[in-house]
Amino acid sequence: MAKISIDTPLAEITLRKYENPEGLEKRELVRKLCLSLGLLQPGDSRDVVVDVLQVLLESKKDLTSREVELLVIENRKKYKQQLLGIAPSNIRRQILRIRDLFLVEKVVNNYRIKENSKILDLFEENIEKYYLNSIVKRVKEYLKEVDKQF
């Protein structure tokens, strides 16, 4: 039997460009941010990640995953969203996805926006300068090799 290899990327990122964000209410603004960063897919009705990120952005203190869960439920009710995806395991999974983008950190057993920094600073320092740069550099290596061989 032939062995099929699976190409697993070392890193990947999805970035999307949307219209100017001015004038959007808070939840819609965070939703467009999630879409822009690839945390949410266009047309996806499972959007609890929006509420998770919003409550972490709004919180002035570190939150346990249970506190995030309760605030997410409160937020979804406030914006008249269905209470879907609010299982504790899913809330933790969404927090982990946001952590993987270097926007949230875990301190002891609590979560917060990384170093209580501005989200733009985190994007520029962690994603744009480090993560994105390393991906672009590797893609260029492939481009050069293709040019050399073809």
* pLDDT single digits (tens) 110-133: 999 999 999 999 999 999 999 999
CATH fold, domain 26-115, is Arc Repressor Mutant, subunit A (1.10.10)
Look up tokens 């203190």; give the residue.
61
Look up tokens 């990327």; give the residue.
9
Q: Is the pTM of this model over 0.85?
A: yes
CA distance 28 to 49: 12
Residue boundaries of the structural domains of the chain: 26-115, 117-150
DSSP-derived secondary structure letter, 116: G
Is the alpha carbon torsion for 112, 27, 44, 65 positive or negative?
Answer: positive
What DSSP string describes 76-98? Answer: HHHTT----S-SHHHHHHHHHHH
At residue 6 the predicted structure's pLDDT band, cuts being 50, 70 and 90, is: confident
